[in-house]
């Protein structure tokens, strides 16, 4: 990629924040040690082995049963990183969301079969956030966001906007999984199941930065069927404490960086 194809980021096109707590879950990767091994290339690939879904003992069974796999992974991570906190804003983000439920509903509709009201209510993008707030009797601000291959970046920008508005902490929760078979031909990376969460605070001594600029040449956009999804690329950057991560997606160049005081 040539630098001449990219505009220079302006100071306004940047955010910084610190992560005070984090958690992650994927099939076969249930512990912090397992995730660190994965990040360093010593462990299993996310989504290959282990329990089919997290147990979620913190959530009432009636609500837990309503969540999809992606939702349960997100909820497990949210409970883990949130540490019992309430009344803090939460930003849930997922590129595909409840796509599987939507496909099931559309299939029923095409076959003139009755659609499940419960499945319909849980097919929306903010379904996981709704379950999380109901389970905790929490009235804090809750957002659900999808932004293509740059979903995580836009979620981080949204979370930092909430910090700038005065929130002392913001919980950022990311989750995703493979596309339904009907849509598999549209997969542009090695889709895997995962969920992770960061508890964000205003930037401190050890901060993460994100800058972005317009990418004039769309042919350089990340689209590698063998690559990990963006959510796992960014999580690996975080867990390994890498100095930087460069990504090109959705017409922008994204630069994640780590700042030490």
Of 3 and 35, the structure prediction assigns the larger pLDDT to 35
Q: Note the pLDDT of residue 6.
A: 35
Q: What is the pLDDT of residue 228?
A: 86
Give a yes or no: residue 261 inside a domain.
no
Q: Is the pLDDT of residue 233 over 90?
A: yes
Secondary structure of 164-192 as H, E, C letters: HCCCCCEEEEEEECCCCHHHHHHCCCCCC
Does residue 4 sit within a domain?
A: no
Place of tokens 């990183």: 81
Q: Is residue 1 a part of any domain in this protein? A: no
pLDDT tens per residue across span 47-92:
455 567 898 888 888 898 888 888 999 999 999 999 888 889 999 9
Provide the mean pLDDT of the chain.
Answer: 84
The answer to whether residue 246 scores a pLDDT higher than 50 is: yes
Element (H, E) at 79: helix 69-82
Distance set, CA 43 to CA 22, 47, 49, 75, 104 (Å): 19, 12, 11, 24, 34
Whole-model pTM?
0.85
> Does pLDDT of 7 surpass 50?
no
Judge whether residue 260 has pLDDT over 80. Answer: no
Confidence of residue 223 (pLDDT cuts 50, 70, 90): low
CA-CA distance, 43 to 209, in Å (whole number)? Answer: 27
Query: Is position 250 within any domain?
Result: no
For residue 170, being part of any structural domain is answered with yes
Residue 252 clears pLDDT 60, i.e. is over it? yes
Q: How many domains does the chain have?
A: 1
Q: What is the CATH number of the domain that holds 63?
A: 3.40.47.10
The parent domain of residue 198 ranges over: 14-207+227-242
pLDDT of res. 1? 32
The per-residue pLDDT for 3 is 32
Whether pLDDT at 10 is above 60 = no
Asked if residue 29 has pLDDT above 60, the reply is yes
Give the dihedral sign, CA 252/16/94/185.
positive
Whether 220 is covered by a domain: the verdict is: no
pLDDT, average across residues 96-113: 76
> Looking at the predicted structure, is the pLDDT value of residue 219 above 70?
no
Q: Is residue 247 part of a domain?
A: no
Q: Which candidate, 18, 23, 28, places its Cα nearest to that of 48?
A: 28
DSSP letter for 16, please.
Answer: E
- What is the pLDDT, as a whole number, of residue 45? 57
Among 56-65, 94-103, 153-162, 163-172, the minimum mean pLDDT is found in 94-103
Structural contact between residues 174 and 153, judged by C-beta atoms closer than 8 angstroms: no
Instruction: Please report whether residue 67 resides in a domain.
Output: yes
pLDDT of residue 261: 60
Give the separation between CA 53 and CA 35, rounded to whole angstroms. 16
């Amino acid at each position: 990629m040539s630098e001449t194809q990219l505009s220079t980021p302006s100071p306004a096109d940047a955010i910084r924040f610190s992560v005070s707590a984090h958690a992650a879950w994927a099939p076969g990767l249930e512990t912090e040690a397992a995730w660190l091994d994965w990040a360093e290339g010593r462990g299993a690939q996310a989504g290959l082995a282990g329990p089919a879904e997290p147990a979620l003992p913190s959530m009432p069974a009636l609500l837990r049963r309503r969540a999809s796999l992606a939702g349960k992974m997100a909820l497990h991570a949210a409970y883990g990183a949130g540490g019992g906190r309430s009344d803090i804003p939460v930003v849930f983000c997922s590129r595909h969301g409840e796509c599987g439920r939507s496909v099931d509903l559309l299939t029923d509709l095409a076959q003139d079969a009755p659609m499940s009201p419960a499945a319909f209510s849980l097919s929306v993008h903010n379904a996981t956030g709704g379950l999380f707030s109901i389970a905790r009797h929490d009235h804090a601000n809750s957002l659900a966001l999808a932004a293509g291959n740059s979903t995580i970046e836009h979620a981080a920008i949204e979370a930092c906007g909430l910090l700038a508005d005065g929130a002392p902490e913001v919980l950022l929760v990311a989750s995703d999984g493979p596309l339904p078979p009907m849509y598999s031909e549209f997969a542009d990376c090695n889709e895997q199941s995962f969920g992770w969460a960061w508890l964000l605070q205003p930037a401190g001594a050890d901060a993460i930065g994100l800058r972005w600029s317009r990418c004039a040449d769309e042919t350089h956009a990340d689209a590698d069927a063998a690559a990990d999804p963006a959510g796992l690329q960014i999580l690996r950057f975080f867990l390994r404490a890498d100095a930087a991560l460069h990504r090109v997606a959705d017409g922008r160049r994204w630069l994640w960086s780590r700042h030490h005081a």
